[in-house]
Amino acid sequence: MSVYLEKERAVAIEAVERASQVCKAVFKRLVTDETLTKKDKSPVTVADYSAQAVVNSILEKHFPNDPIVGEEDSKDLQGDAGRVLREKVVDLVNTATDAPMSADEVLRAIDRGQYTGGSTGRHWTLDPIDGTKGFLRGEQFAVCLALIVDGKVRLGVVGCPNLPYDISKQTEDKGVLAVAVEEQGAFQRRLGAPDDVETPVLVSIVEDACNASFCESVESGHSNHGDNAKIAELLGITKQSVRMDSQCKYVAVARGDADIYLRLPVDSKYVEKIWDHAAGNIIITEAGGQVSDIDGKPLDFSLGRTLTANRGVVAANANIFATVLAAVQTTLANKE
C-alpha cells in the first residue's frame, strides 16, 4: 500500500538537496569580501537561477504535467546581453545534474516556473533562494519547495544549508533539511547526508507567552521590528530574540528553537508571495504549531501567486497562539 505523496516527498527532497548543493557552490566560487563591500548581488542572482533550473528540471523529469509557480524567469539570461550570466548559470547547474544540460534546456527549465497558481489541481511553488542577504553574508538562507493541491499546501521541504542541526551548537554540524506532509508530521535530517535518519520535530511546549522567545528577521524591511518590541512588552517577553533570514525561521519555530514568528505588514500595499510561506507553513503546522495572518485567518494559497486575502503572518505553538495573536491585534489597532 503506497503512502500519500510518497514519491512527491522523495523527489522534493532530492530537488532541494541538489539545489542547496548548487547554492553552496555559488557561495564558495563567487562570494568574496569585495562583493560584500560593494553590495554586489550578482552571486545570489546566479544562485537563484541555478537553483530554480535544478529543481524545475527534476520536477519535470518525475512529474512532467505539474506546473510550477517560481520566483524567476530567464529574461535576463537571454541573448548577447545575458551571455556571461547565462554561462555561469549553465556551468553551475551542470554540477548538480545527472546528465549535462544545454543552455536552452536550462533556460526552458527556469521558465517552467511561470504558472499563475490557483485553486484547482496540483502545482508546485519554489523559492530558489529565500533570504538573499543572509546568503551573501554566509548566514541563513533557504531553498523552499511546496506542493499545493486544490489550493492547499500538502507537502513542504525547506533546505537550510547554514542552519546548525542543533541550535545550541552554532559552529558545528551545519545543514538541515526539514520536510512535512499533510497529516504525517514534520521531520528534519542533516542536509547533504541522504542516509541520515529523519527525526520528528515538534514546536515548543511553552504555556505562558512571557516565557517565549521571538524568531525575527535580520532585515527590518521584512517585518516591523518596532511593533515586535511593543508586542513583546505587552506579552511580558524578556528573552532575546533569535534573528535569522529566510524560511529558516519557520524551521526554527517548528523544532522549538524559538516560540513565535511574526511577519507584520511594513506597509498597507505589500502582498506576500506564496513561495515565501508555503513550505514553512506546513512544516510548522505538522510540528504542532499554528499559523494565521494578523486577522486570524488561515493563509490562503488558492488565489494565485500571492496571498491576496491575507495580511502578515503569525506563527506560534498552539498553547500561546491565541494570546500572541491578541497581542498583535491590540498593538496594530493602537497604531490606527
Q: Which is nearest to 223 in space by CA: 280, 309, 294?
A: 294
48 flagged as catalytic: yes
Residue burial 165-192, b: 16+ Cβ < 10 Å; e: rest: beeeeeeeebbbbbbbbbebebbbbbbe
- Listed in sequence order, the DSSP H helices in the chain are 6-30, 33-37, 42-62, 83-93, 103-110, 132-137, 225-235, 248-254, 278-286, 321-333
The dihedral built from the CA positions of residue 241, 245, 250 and 254, taken in this order, carries a sign that is: negative
* Amino acid, res. 208: D
* Catalytic one of 45, 97, 125, 132: 132
Question: Residue 194 is placed in which grid cell?
Answer: 541522504
Question: In this structure, what DSSP letter does residue 288 have?
Answer: T
Instruction: Yes or no: say if 19 and 144 are a contact pair by the CB < 8 Å rule.
Output: no
d(CA 175, CA 161): 4
CA distance 129 to 45: 9
* Overall size of the chain counted in residues: 336
| Strand blocks (E) in 202-296 | 214-216, 242-243, 260-263, 289-292
Closest by CA position to 66, among listed 56, 75, 78: 56
Residue carrying C-alpha cell 516591523? 224
Start-to-end CA span in the chain (Å): 55
CA distance 255 to 240: 18
Grid-cell match 542541526, residue found: 165
CA distance 36 to 209: 38
Q: What residues act catalytically? A: 48, 132
